[in-house]
Chain A
């Protein structure tokens, strides 16, 4: 069974991103970049399925500028077998990424696609579902458990009220939630080995996809600040403030 895992290069989750003073865009000068945490969970899940003998080959794909090859190498160091880089300048939108991933999907014919439920930059939570629609695949979004069966996959999903289990016909797409697994760290020997693993670069033209923009960012702003509050001395002062000042209890 072949697994296709999509990974995205994003600002490291420890970086507190701010809007530029002129409001044109976020300030991403000299910030640390990393693999999107949800994508890391996706890679880990594929590697675990390979270790369990279910998956035989893992292909890691990323859509973006040439720098995103770093994140493909990270996926290779974690255990993916080979990489595919779809080279696109700028910031492609979820629908364009989904179309490009469909191009790779058609070329690779994987049995399973695993990707993060959202990236921590745009916070869109769209690409996996869109790829599902474009390919007609069933989707197990916000997955917290994945069990491969005969021609099917059972996915436990984190939903508003608790957990929902669905069964999907393979090939299917899974988008990862936080508690699916805890990703490992890449070992130094594996990081070295990853440098020699094959990495193919494709263009949108080769995949017959026209990269289009549907939604433009007009500007950015910091969120409204909360006014600083006060420290109360004890519980009785707290209750007094809530009753008589805030009037919420």
Chain B
């Protein structure tokens, strides 16, 4: 059994999501290799080589892969896939963009967002916004899988010494071009890998009031998130969104502020270890999943909380 994990990286560094996908690959058994496809991505490949339990890192360094365009990277992964039984990627925006394309090129199904590995061909995954967990069995000789990162504890980032092998295969489908990227720069930890997340919802009333969360986030070294309602209302950008169609998070502590707790939001955070809800509506559904609920006006509770921690 051989598994290839498609690395999540930004050319300069390896993203934590890769370590969760490697953990899932480890459960499948056999050799685990990592593919780093990018441009000027030597540093990310070197970081991947440090991951324990990895046999080999394939470094495909080519301008066509610089921005992870799915049209190009999928051709590369499908070609390399000939040597592997399983192709895995984390369920990040990139993983979701690339892997179905790979599966179609290989004429196999794709299994999205696995939560567990039951056996070499059987997995569990959420359906209906996480209201139901399905056990699915693949009949394909080659399995193309995306991994829900919060469901697998990350392997350590260091301690291994895999070989790095350069791959010169150049695939440019010539149908897509990267134009620009608007990426929020923040000193805070990444939302999907932070150990504390504090999120605001419609109850925050406007974007300026999110500053009430910032002081607390600074003290707890937390990432800031938001509900879909807050993003739709334009309070904060889309990359803050926690939920079924946004980011899935499972921190040690999740603080939901002014969030009612729509099903689609709960789907994105209910695997957090400890959930705190602050809402003035005592009937809000968020209290049904909260370990600690505080019925209070957030505009009074947040400054108090910031002072008390």
Contact = CB atoms under 8 A, between A and B. Distances in A.
A231 B181 contact: no
A216 B270 CA distance: 27
A144 B93 CA distance: 14
Interface in B19-62: none
Number of contact residues on A: which range applies?
A: 35 or more
A26 B132 contact: yes
A107 interface: no
Contacts of B295: 231
A125 B252 CA distance: 28
B103 A165 contact: no
Contacts of A137: 175
A19 B109 contact: no
Contacts of A249: 196, 220, 253, 309
Contacts of A161: 181, 183-184, 239
Contact of A229 (B110, B237, B291): B291
Nearest to B67: A164
Interface in A144-189: 144, 154, 157-169, 172, 177-179
B245 to A, nearest CB: 6
Nearest to A38: B245
Interface string A96-135: 0010000000000000000001101111111111111110
Contacts of A127: 100
Contacts of A167: 176-177, 179
A227 to B, nearest CB: 8
Nearest to B176: A138
A129 B92 CA distance: 15
Contacts of A93: 109
A161 to B, nearest CB: 4
A230 B129 contact: no
Given A18-B131, A138-B175, A139-B71, A242 B292 contact: yes
Contacts, number: 260
Interface stretch (A58-66, A192-200, A217-225): A217-225
A164 B131 CA distance: 31
A26 B304 contact: no
A234 interface: yes
A238 B231 contact: no
A94 B179 contact: no
A231 B293 contact: yes
Contact of B245 (A138, A159, A178, A242): A178
Contacts of A238: 276, 292, 294, 305
Contacts of A246: 253, 274, 291-292
Contacts of A17: 128, 131-132
Given A163-B181, A235-B304, A241-B292, A123 B128 contact: yes
B235 interface: no
Given A139-B176, A168-B176, A214-B140, A231 B100 contact: no
A123 B128 CA distance: 7
B309 A232 contact: no
Contact of A144 (B96, B238, B274, B309): B238
A158 to B, nearest CB: 5
Interface in B253-290: 253, 263, 270, 273-276, 282, 287-290
B104 A129 contact: yes
Contacts of B304: 234-236
A16 B131 contact: yes
B238 A120 contact: no
B280 to A, nearest CB: 13
A178 B232 contact: yes
Given A95-B107, A231-B287, A239-B309, 20 more contacts: A18-B132, A26-B128, A125-B112, A126-B103, A133-B74, A138-B173, A141-B96, A159-B93, A160-B239, A160-B247, A161-B183, A163-B238, A163-B239, A164-B67, A172-B175, A213-B139, A231-B292, A231-B293, A242-B292, A248-B253
19 contacts: A94-B110, A121-B128, A130-B100, A133-B74, A157-B93, A159-B181, A159-B239, A166-B178, A178-B232, A178-B245, A214-B108, A215-B111, A219-B135, A223-B126, A231-B292, A235-B305, A239-B305, A246-B274, A249-B220
Closest 9 CB pairs of A and B: A214-B109, A129-B100, A138-B175, A133-B104, A126-B100, A130-B104, A138-B176, A229-B291, A161-B183
